[in-house]
Amino acid sequence: GQQVMQIPQYQHVQEGEDFTTYCNSSTTLSNIQWYKQRPGGHPVFLIQLVKSGEVKKQKRLTFQFGEAKKNSSLHITATQTTDVGTYFCAPPEGGSQGNLIFGKGTKLSVKP
Partner 1 sequence: KAGVTQTPRYLIKTRGQQVTLSCSPISGHRSVSWYQQTPGQGLQFLFEYFSETQRNKGNFPGRFSGRQFSNSRSEMNVSTLELGDSALYLCASDPGQGGSYNEQFFGPGTRLTVL
Q: Give the footprint of partner 1 on this chain (CB under 8 A).
A: 30-31, 33, 35, 41-45, 48, 88, 90-93, 96-105
Residue 18 Cβ vs partner 1, minimum distance, rounded to whole Å: 25
Helices in 1-112 by DSSP H: which ranges?
none
Residue 75 Cβ vs partner 1, minimum distance, rounded to whole Å: 21
* Residue 45 or 78 having the CB closest to partner 1: 45
Residue 38 Cβ vs partner 1, minimum distance, rounded to whole Å: 12
Measured from the Cβ of residue 106, the count of other Cβ atoms closer than 10 Å reads 22
DSSP state of 34: E
Phi, psi (degrees; rounded to nearest 5) at 29: -110, 145
* Residue 1 or 112 having the CB closest to partner 1: 1
Nearest C-alpha neighbor of 107 from the set 5, 3, 12: 12
Residue 15 Cβ vs partner 1, minimum distance, rounded to whole Å: 26
Q: How far apart are the C-alpha atoms of 70 and 29, rounded to whole Å?
A: 6
* Residue 16 or 45 having the CB closest to partner 1: 45
